Structures are given as structure tokens and as C-alpha cells.
Chains A and B, each alone.
Chain A
Amino acid sequence: MKVIFKTSYDNDIDLHEDGWARGRIALLVVVMAALPFLVGEYYLAEAANTLIWSLAGMGLMVLVGHTGQASLGHAAFLAIGAYTDVALMNIGVPWIISFPLAGLATGLFGALVAIPAVRMSGIYLAIATLALFVIVEEMVILLEPITGGVGGLMAPSIEIFGVNFDRYTNLNNFYWLCLAVVVAVTWLYANLLRSPTGRSFLAVRDSEVSARALGINITRTRALAFGLSCGMTGLAGSLLGHYIAYFNYELFSVFISINLLLVVTIGGLGFIQGAFMGAILITAVPQLIAILRGTVNDLTGIDLSVLPGLDTLIFSAILIGFIIYEPAGLWGRWLKTRVWFQLFPLARRDMFRRQKSYLKTERQR
């Protein structure tokens, strides 16, 4: 097993525990950046889609994974991000400005609605965010001059200093753009987690009474988490708009909210990596099902496309499986597997079994 010799407090403050870890991340980014030269158009577009889902997943992870609040309304924030961006571009604002503004506007909106919503928790908050989603959906339809109403609208092509990043004509550029945004947001998120702000989020998640007794303002902290979460989701929404290119309110259905929840729970609650794992799964599974359908059809002649609920069924089965057998998600499973190999052959079966908490019965909320 690898032991890291820490020689200064900076070892714990740095993002990566040692040069190896830093090198691995750098290698991953390089491979991702080289992807346009390695795969065809179809898979590159899928990769861009996965990056956008990872970004939205990170947005929800801040809220669900790190602050312990549920949201069934995140599709609404994707929508706000997408429409704000397009609306600004349509009045002549360049993308380089409209994009951050879209994130900012969504974040502010999120923080504002959070102020009444943060008094709620659990199922009540989930229902409140669902209600918010319905309101936003109606607003999108009603605000036809800006959003195109039911008919939808076309996202303008992205231009930065004369370089075109259109998703159809310059897919490579669009992909790199998504990658750059995701790398930047991931860096900001990772910084957040190693700083006092991130610790206050975890504190609010794990014990509200303790957090308050330590001087943490619960309402402020939750509103901030909500704002940051919505901001990231808004950025993802704006990229999603450009990715789909022509869209209407139906792009942001409640199923998107549910899929986002799947991303964070299956990926691994409380880990940035979990958002990526979940996003890969959620974008890969429909592809795998399509391939499976084809294979079954070729082999047996049975046409599975007459079963429209197959995707949903498989997703639900995966989700239930994870909740029962691996609540830590894909990333948690990977961490355990890694430790098992590092300790081989000394790993014990009950190593990851959590010790029961004592005397938690009288917990005050």
C-alpha cells in the first residue's frame, strides 16, 4: 500500500496528494483534449453531451451531495440558463459575455428562491422545487417573444473573437469549448471543497445543530449552496441549448430533473468524480440499449422497439440496485475496489461496514 509522507500542511491543502495524482489528472485532461483526433463525429458529439451532463451533475451535486438538500426542479435551472444565454445573444451580446451572465442570472434566481425554500428540507423541499419547475415551464411558454413559446427557438452560433464554435459546422471547437468550461468549473468546485465555504456546506449537511453551535448561518449557507448549484446548472443549460441547437420547453422536462438526480446518486453522492461517473452512465446507457436492441433483433428477430418503456425500466433497475447495494455509488465502489487491490491479500470482508452510531436516538434537528 502506498504511504504518502507529508512534510508540510500544504500536503493536505493542495488539491492532489502527490505528483502522481496530479499527473493522472493532467493525463486525463490531455486525453480528453485529444479526443477529436481519436474518435469519429458521432462519438465526439456524445462526449460533448456527457461533458454537459457532468456539468449539470456537478451543479446538482453541490446541493444534494454536499449540502444534503433535494431538488426535483433542476431542469428549470437548465432552462433558465439556456433561454437567458440565447436571449442575450439575440440582442447582440457576444457569447463570451452572455454565457457567464446566464450562469450568474440562474445562480441569483436560485439563491432568491432558496431563501424561502431553505426553511424546508427533505420531501417538502423536493415538492417545492418541483412546483418551481412547473412555474418556470409555464413562464417559458408564456414568454413567447423571448423563448419562442411552444414552437421553440434556434440557438445562435457561438463566435469568440471571430472563431466559430458551432456545434454542427465546427464540432471539434464546440467540444473543446465544453471541455474548457467543465475543467474550469471542476477546478472551482474542487477549490470550494478544500476551503472553509465547502466545509460549512458539509457541516450543514451532516449536523445542523452542530453547525449552528459553531457559528454557521444555516439559511445563508443553504442559499449560497443553492445559488452555486443553480449557477453551474445554468451554465450547463446554456451549453445544452447550443448542443441541441433548436429547442423548445420540452427539452427541459421533469425527466431531465430525475435523470440528474440519477447522475448524482448513481455516480456517488458527495464526490465530484461521482457527477462524472453518473453522467457517463446516463449518456452511455441509452446507447447500450440501442445496441442491445439491434443485437437482439438480429439474433432472434424480436423487435424490442415495440417496448417503449425499456430505457426507463433499465434506469430504474440500476437506480434501485445502487440504492440497495451500493449507496456510495459508482465512485464509492471504485474507491473500495482500489483499496482492496492495494491491501491484497489483506482486505477483510467487513472492512467498509460502518460502525453503528451510538446514542443518536435523541438527535435534535
Chain B
Amino acid sequence: MSLLEVEDLAIHFGGVKAVDGVSFAVEAGEVFSIIGPNGAGKSTIFNLISRLYKPTRGKIMFDGRDITPLQAHEIAPLGLARTFQNIELFDHSTVLDNLLMGRHTHRSTNWVQDMLFVPAVRRAERAHRRKVEDVIEFLELEAYRDKLIAGLPYGVRKVVEIGRALAVGPKLILLDEPASGLSVEESQEVAYWIEDMRRDMGLTVLMVEHDMSLVTQVSDRVLAVANGQPLAQGSPAEVQSDPRVMAAYLGTEVYT
């Protein structure tokens, strides 16, 4: 059984068929990438999986469970975390607090205990902090720990987004264009992190990315979409050389 199974997924915004009949399955432990031109519907697929959007049609199975009827906040506790293409951090909080917010699904105390700050709250805070420090060490964010997000450079914010998703302690992590806007060196670092996530943390990665060298380097399998529809699926090399994919990117007709 696959970790994530998407069956005939579709969402229509009025007349716009943003996603229209996409199916794929992500196996546990693999890195799966979705590619496609701008406006192809890649981010919309992510929003459907994280239940921010309600699909018009189709079904999403995660870890053997149908998550289509769930609400957005019920997804993370199952072990599914994500990043956002347009960076959705908590701007007025520090990096540390942003990462601690990622621990929300693991909270063990209620608001009454929190307000009285009973010893259990302190114990839980220490435990969350240790987890978050692991993430900080992994992503080398030590220098920014106490900085406010609002003053951070773009590249660092992208890394904090990945960190916050890792702090959730997920089985599956969705990365929406983790390398967009980053320098060559920075995207190389992202590539190493993705490999480490899979190898050392046992994570499954579903990624949307335009940077083909990153996709080829880390992905086991690739799905190409255009105009909300699937074009091709397979190894990075297969998909890249598929004539329909080339046509979608270059905007030419397919000659057969």
C-alpha cells in the first residue's frame, strides 16, 4: 500500500479546471516530484491534499485512510506537513517560536494548565525545545534562532518554512518550490537536506519544483502536469524526454 494515493483528483474554480483528473501514488520512503509550467495546478494539488481546498471530484488516501472528508486542521496530526510557495511564516514571531508552533500537534497540556504554567507545561516545553533544536541544527539555523521573521532575508525564510514543517515530525512532507528564488549554492543545500530527510529521518517527500537539476538529482519519480491534467509519469529522465512534456514547456504542438 502506498503512503499517499491520489485518485482522479479534480477542482474547478468556476470555469477554470485548475486540477482535472490527476492520479498518482507516493510510496513510503521515496522522493516524488511534480513538475509543470506556471499555472499548471501544482500548488492547487498541494492545497487539495492539505484540505485547504475541497475537491470537486476524487479521493485522497493517506496512510491507509481516506482524508478527503477531513478538515484542514485534522491533516497535520496524521503526520503530513507542508511548506508554502509564497512563504506563510508567522512574521512577528522569532524563528524559534515559528518552529515551536510546528510542534502544535504534539501538545500535551490544555489552556488552563498553560495559564497556570504547571510543571507539566515546563516539561513539555523542554521536550518541544529539544526537538526544535534538532531541526535548528539540521538546517543550520543557529544564528537566526532569536531573530524575528520580519527582518530575515528571503533565503533564510525559505529554510525556516522547511524547518517548521520538519518540527511537526511528519511521515510525509510536501515542499512547494523549496528552491525557488535561491542561489545555486542554496539550492544545492536544499538537495542535500532532501536526501538527508529521506535517508536519516525516514521521511517521504512530495515536492513541486521548477529547478530541473534539483528534481533530477533527488527524485525517484516525477509527475508532469499541464493545464490541470497529468502528462507523464516515471523516472526523471523518462519524463524529461517525453515529447508531450517538452511540448507543454515549449508551447509547441506534438508531432507524431
Tally of contact residues, A, Cβ under 8 A: 43
Which of the candidate stretches B56-64, B116-124, B182-190, B195-203 sits at the interface with the other chain?
B116-124
A2 adjacent to chain B (CB < 8 Å): no
Contact A206 B90 (CB under 8 A): yes
Residue of B nearest to A208 (CB): B88
B220 adjacent to chain A (CB < 8 Å): no
A363 adjacent to chain B (CB < 8 Å): yes
- How many Å lie between the Cα of A198 and that of B126 in the bound state? 16
Contact partners of A349 in chain B: CB under 8 A: none
If over half of A's interface residues share one DSSP class (helix, strand or loop), that class is named, otherwise mixed; here it is: helix
A188 adjacent to chain B (CB < 8 Å): yes
B102 adjacent to chain A (CB < 8 Å): yes
Partner of A207, one of B82, B89, B96, B97: B89
Task: Mark interface residues in A309-320 (1 if CB within 8 Å of B CB, else 0).
Answer: 000000000000
Contact A195 B121 (CB under 8 A): yes
- How many Å lie between the Cα of A359 and that of B81 in the bound state? 21
- How many Å lie between the Cα of A10 and that of B86 in the bound state? 34
Contact partners of A354 in chain B: CB under 8 A: 150-151
Which of the candidate stretches A30-38, A69-77, A210-218 sits at the interface with the other chain?
A210-218
Q: How large is the interface on B (under 10, 10 to 19, 20 to 34, 35 or more residues)?
A: 35 or more
Contact partners of B101 in chain A: CB under 8 A: 199-200, 202-203, 211, 214
Partner of B129, one of A12, A188, A198, A211: A12
Partner of A206, one of B93, B96, B105: B93
B72 adjacent to chain A (CB < 8 Å): yes
Known: A202-B93, A205-B92, A207-B91. 12 other contacts (CB 8 A): A13-B126, A188-B116, A195-B109, A196-B100, A196-B107, A202-B90, A209-B88, A213-B76, A217-B73, A228-B111, A359-B87, A363-B86
Binding site for A on B (CB under 8 A): 47, 50, 52, 72-77, 81-82, 84-93, 96-97, 100-105, 107, 109-111, 114-117, 121-122, 124-126, 128-130, 150-154, 164, 168, 181
